[in-house]
Amino acid sequence: MATKSEALKARHTAAVPRGIATKSVYAAKAENAEVWDVDGKRYIDFAAGIAVVNTGHRHPKVMKAVASQIADFTHTCFNVAPYEEYIAVAERLNKAAPGSFTKKTMFVTTGAEAVENAVKIARVATGRTAIVSFTGAFHGRTMMGMALTGKVVPYKKGFGPFPAEVFHAPFPKVYHDLTVEQALAGLKDIFAGDVDPARVAAIIVEPVQGEGGFYVAPVAFLQALRKLCDEHGMLFIADEIQTGMGRTGKMFAIEHAGVVPDLITMAKGLGGGFPLAAVTGRAELMDAALPGGLGGTYAGSPVGLAAAQAVLEVIDEEKLCDKAVALGKLIKGRLEDMQKKNEFSCIGDVRGMGAMVAVEVVKDRTSKAPDADLTNRIVAKCQEKGLLILTCGPNANVIRFLPPLTCPTDLAKSGMDVFEQAMSEAVGAS
């Protein structure tokens, strides 16, 4: 007889388009850093809903805040009957974001929407049109999100034309010998050959590329971008949708570089499992749009905001930035130990920041040729053995580790044991 998962898979395939790619772990329950599927199989969660439940699944404080909000009201639309939660979370984010200037915050529902709004704000505030993003970047699946994204398959293929005035500069990749100097030279080529920097409204950058393969932007690169922005009157937008909310060991990853962005986009971890996204930035930029130019029916749901209040408190109270550093050290340490073993010569690179760690799987360390097949087999073995883990990268050969920041140390160690065993079996079957 078919398992519940198999039966769901058949219904899923018949009812849902294939463009929405999924794993086949059908969730029935989740608690902190564990997920159980509909057949009762338990998984250690190293995906956290793609860096969403940084505070763990169903954190008691988040659940309590949401229950209390639902008991009062669930939706009035902020434009129709505004509410204090929106203002209170805006105040908190204005304080938490880097920069000693006055800031304002607006809320939307998804990361892509935050990116769309950051671009709208940058354009209306500067009176300029062009936007620079980077190869390998991921900024979402809306039209502008796709335009800014630096990867064609599967994100852009067949979906164009995209909004004009978007230019992709090279993103430095230390492991692949693409240096900061080369990346900056590429950007300067764009300014010389494609678009006058005086027409560029903003540069948007992920301090650590997420979907793009967990390449960490070197400090010198981010600082040079800030300098170029200042020289040419362009705005610096930090896309912290995956890197934010304590994930890298600071509230925002850009803080590691000592760079102050003009606008920050956030989503994912902000709502702790409830849909919420935000743009925080310099008050005068945030105020550039005319009344009615920003917002949306569900923009800043009171339920998501109640969750966000609790999330921000939990990050503080439970010192989740410190925990991100400790978890990252544990995971990276284990991966680096594995890398030293002959058996794991497929581990090309171990990198990341805080609890945003990745391993790049290669055919051999000299050519660094990507091994997507082996990567898939490792991830499938992990799933078989009860570890939920994701891939990323332009060649689908990077495995990313994104546990909830509340993941107990012993559970993280067990997860790494499962990973090592899974990798060993996958390599052995090669």
Question: Where along the sequence are the contacts to ligand PLP (CB under 6 A)?
Answer: 50, 110-112, 115, 138-140, 206, 210-211, 239, 241-242, 267
44-66 per-residue burial string, b: 16 or more CB within 10 A, e: under 16: bbbbbbbbbbbbbbebebbeebb
Give min distance, CB of 131 to ligand PLP, in A.
Answer: 14
Nearer to ligand PLP, 110 or 375 (CB): 110
Cα distances (Å, whole numbers) of residue 132 to 164, 166, 200, 327, 423: 11, 6, 7, 34, 38
Identity of the residue, 334 or 351, whose beta carbon is nearer to ligand PLP in the bound complex: 351
How far is the C-alpha of 122 from the C-alpha of 76, rounded, in Å? 29
Q: Which amino acid is at 121?
A: I
Cβ 240 to ligand PLP shortest distance, Å: 8
Q: Which is nearer to ligand PLP, 241 or 387 (CB)?
A: 241
| Closest CB to ligand PLP: residue number | 111
Distance of CA 133 to the CA centre of its chain: 16
Least separation in angstroms between residue 220's CB and ligand PLP is 21
173: exposed, middle or buried (Cβ count in 10 Å: 0-12, 13-18, 19+): buried
Q: Which is nearer to ligand PLP, 22 or 345 (CB)?
A: 22
Specify the residue, 285 or 356, whose C-beta has the smaller distance to ligand PLP.
Answer: 356
Q: Which amino acid is at 308?
A: A
Residue among 147 and 362 whose Cβ is closer to ligand PLP:
147
E strands of 225-346, at which residues? 235-239, 263-266, 277-282
Residue with tokens 């950007």: 187
Q: How far is the CB of 204 from ligand PLP (least distance, A)?
A: 9
Residue labelled with tokens 């010389």: 192
Per the CB < 8 A criterion, the answer to whether 201 and 131 are in contact is yes
Check if the beta carbon of residue 379 is closer than 8 Å to that of residue 370. Answer: no
Q: How far is the CB of 422 from ligand PLP (least distance, A)?
A: 24
Give whichever of 111 and 370 is closer to ligand PLP, judged by the CB atom. 111
The answer to whether the CB of 274 falls within 8 A of the CB of 302 is no
CB of 357 or CB of 423, closer to ligand PLP: 357
Helix axes 302-317, 84-96, angle to 10 degrees: 40
Angle between helices 302-317 and 60-72 (to 10 degrees): 150
Residue with tokens 């492991």: 175
Q: How many CB atoms lie within 10 A of CB 301?
A: 25
What's the closest the beta carbon of residue 109 comes to ligand PLP, in angstroms?
A: 8
Which of residues 170 and 210 has its CB atom nearest to ligand PLP in the complex? 210
Q: How far is the CB of 242 from ligand PLP (least distance, A)?
A: 4
Residue 210 C-beta: closest distance to ligand PLP, Å: 4
* CA max distance for the chain: 67
CB of 277 to ligand PLP, least distance (A): 6
- Look-up: residue for tokens 């329950």? 29
